[in-house]
Amino acid sequence: MQSTTVRDRQEYTNDRGDKAVRYVINPKETMIARAKQQQIQEAFASWIWKDPERRDALLKLYNDTFNTVRPREYDGSHLVIPGMNSEMKLRKHQLDFVARVIYTGTGLAAHEVGAGKTAALIAAGMYLKNLGAIHKAVFVVPNPLVGQWATEFYRFFPNANLLVSTVDDFTPKNRNRYVSKIATGEYDAVILAHSQFEKIPISRERQIMQLEQQINEIEAAISEMKYEKGENWSIKQMAIFRENLETKLEKLSAEEKKDDLLTFEQLGVDMMFGDEAHFYKNCFVFTKLRNVAGITTSSSQRAFDMLLKCQYLQEVNNGRGRGVCNGDDDKQFHLRVVCHAAIFTAAGAGTVRLVLTLTHGSPTSPSGLPYLSCDRRAAATGCGTALCGSTTCRS
């Protein structure tokens, strides 16, 4: 129920000397109205569950309508990971996540901080590499953690053939040589810093194609909102974003290629794992709703670049091989990025077309109905994101 606001009609004389009318909020009456509104909500919540027959009928209706998809459960207890240090043992939730990545090619490890997401990602990548299911995996990690990831990698897989980037590798004079090394080398994994990953361009043709697609989607949304007589504010926001995209497209079409650096498509990468997914959360989402927590109308170039690269991996791998990322508690990600950037690891992450927050809280809502599980919501919306177990959505 939308909060009530009481406004009083007030006549006044404007700057041109004409009589006009405005509506001013009445704080006292608004407070009284909202208190009554709260009482109505509480009385309704109490009344609706009092009658056992009505309660059973509503529960059946809810379950038949929304609670019909059971998420697949993954069991990795049978897995034996070749080449892993015999002194290192993965815990059950880690093995289950490895199994999810092996079977689906995608995933979001929404474990708590310190639960071993890094080890799970490394094990998943090496298992697929030894299996021959992937050719070359890239691990995209925060700049200060490149060395830490390499150390952890060798701790679990001492014989791994890694290519670990340094600060000097992506200086202007060394960049071409190093990117060519990624493309021509046979490595178990390539570890890149976030800033270095962004310097490897996606092809201009793919960028143009994606921008044109976004412009067409926004134009369709604007036409639909005008037909439905939607809010002018929402239409204006979409029109502004469309103009920005068109400007970006014109610049991209006009510019000449600056150097002969290989594009991301030419590296031979067919699997991507990412660390700290919240760095890529700011993809523009157009919606009819206003003031929705977690929904941004800004667009990040970093997130757009990640989106394009993940879409490419989807295309060449039939929906598999997309990124795995890990983030901090209480972070929220747009479903648009999460769906395309596949294997994510995040502590307390969120996925949504709008935004869901994953928590490790109670499995039922205040009304007594169960929350939809993240996997169930993903299945219901057609999302390909694979989420780790032990988390629930509150939406």
pTM: 0.66
Amino acid at 305: D
Range with the poorest average pLDDT among 6-10, 190-194, 367-371 = 367-371
Range with the poorest average pLDDT among 108-112, 156-160, 171-175, 339-343 = 339-343
- Higher-scoring residue by pLDDT: 323, 248: 248
Q: Are 272 and 124 in contact (CB under 8 A)?
A: no
What's the first-to-final CA gap in the chain, in angstroms?
Answer: 15
Share of the chain above pLDDT 70, in %: 71
Question: Which residue intervals of the chain are DSSP H helices?
Answer: 27-48, 52-66, 92-104, 117-131, 146-156, 175-184, 194-199, 204-227, 232-254, 301-316, 335-340, 374-381
- Higher-scoring residue by pLDDT: 292, 348: 292
> How many angstroms separate the Cα of 271 from the Cα of each of 71, 158, 310, 316?
24, 21, 9, 10
Residue 215: the pLDDT is: 81
- The structure tokens listed for 182 are 């990624």
Q: Predicted confidence band at 150 (pLDDT cuts at 50, 70, 90)? A: very high
Range with the poorest average pLDDT among 30-34, 77-81, 90-94, 310-314 = 310-314
Average pLDDT over residues 112-139: 89
